[in-house]
Amino acid sequence: MKVVAIANQKGGVGKTTTALNLSAALALRGQRVLLVDLDPQANCTSGLGIEPPDGCSMYPVLLGDTTVAQQILPTGRENLSLLPSEMDLAGVEIELARSDDHLTRLRNILQALKPNDLFEYCILDTPPSLGVLMTSALAAADEILIPLQCEYFALEGLSKIVHVIEQIRASGANPGLQIGGILMTMFMRNNLAQQVINEVQSHFGDVIYKTVVPRTVRLS
Ligand code: ADP
Ligand code: MG
């Protein structure tokens, strides 16, 4: 099972849209996918049209009160399962911050899923912050996919996230964390967007995906 965190501490850059569509596309290709909604705003969950039962999220799993298997829901789509979120998940930030192993709990939970081969991909949708949920996702991931809006301020956010990735590696929690790629989103044909892409390319080269996601009302 390959764990991919869709992360960028900025909001509204296309994380959830990417997590949903990438998961659905992999599932359509016949890959068994577990989509984990780690954002208390639960947009992945509602985006799949799912209203989870009360208390169904990663929250009790992270606190050791239940198993991950008990929180996984079918989505009505072949090969695609969801570990949903709800507003209460926000409480994890406070509860886990107190514990010494908060960075590695999610990692250990997901590592335990790897041997049983139930899923080929685990896609993590993360909240727009640098809190416990987001850093836990980075500690748990084999690779990070960074959606980046084709806007100037996006560049400042990018250096910040690269710094966090280096910190996670250095902490020893996840020395093998790779940048899978930077995905340019909401592209419009204008000079600014092209300049931003060129700028990212000059710093990161091949790490930027060739596919650029256009701004289109069909996605929103
Ligand atoms: P994040 O999860 O990073 O906050 P979202 O995926 O929720 O970002 O996207 C923010 C908003 O922009 C949503 O309303 C979404 O529908 C819309 N959106 C995302 N990607 C595109 C796109 N390529 N074109 C047009 N609208 C988009
Ligand atoms: Mg989101």
Q: What is the mean pLDDT of residues 154-169?
A: 93
What is the band of 156 on the pLDDT scale with cuts at 50, 70, 90?
Answer: confident
Alpha helices in the chain (DSSP H): 15-28, 43-47, 59-62, 91-97, 105-113, 132-140, 152-171, 191-204
Q: What is the distance of C-alpha 116 from the center of its chain?
A: 22
State the pLDDT at residue 98.
87
**pLDDT by residue (tens digit) across 32-76?**
999 999 999 999 999 999 999 999 999 999 999 999 999 999 999
The bound ligand whose nearest atom lies closest to the alpha carbon of 186 is 1
Give, using CA atoms, the residue closest to atom 16 of ligand 1.
Answer: 220
State the pLDDT at residue 23.
98
For residues 199 and 194, give the distance between their C-alpha atoms in angstroms, rounded to a whole number. Answer: 9
The bound ligand whose nearest atom lies closest to the alpha carbon of 217 is 1
Q: What is the mean pLDDT of residues 24-38?
A: 98
State in Å: Cα 98 to ligand 2 middle.
25
Is ligand 1 within 6 A of the CB of residue 85? no
Helix, strand or coil, per DSSP, at residue 200 = helix
Helix, strand or coil, per DSSP, at residue 194 = helix
Has residue 106 got a pLDDT over 90? yes
State the pLDDT at residue 24.
98
The bound ligand whose nearest atom lies closest to the alpha carbon of 188 is 1
Has residue 154 got a pLDDT over 90? no
State in Å: Cα 198 to ligand 2 middle.
26
State the pLDDT at residue 206.
85
Has residue 155 got a pLDDT over 90? no
For residues 220 and 217, give the distance between their C-alpha atoms in angstroms, rounded to a whole number. Answer: 5
Q: What is the mean pLDDT of residues 194-209?
A: 92
State the pLDDT at residue 205.
86
State the pLDDT at residue 153.
87
Give, using CA atoms, the residue closest to atom 5 of ligand 1.
Answer: 14
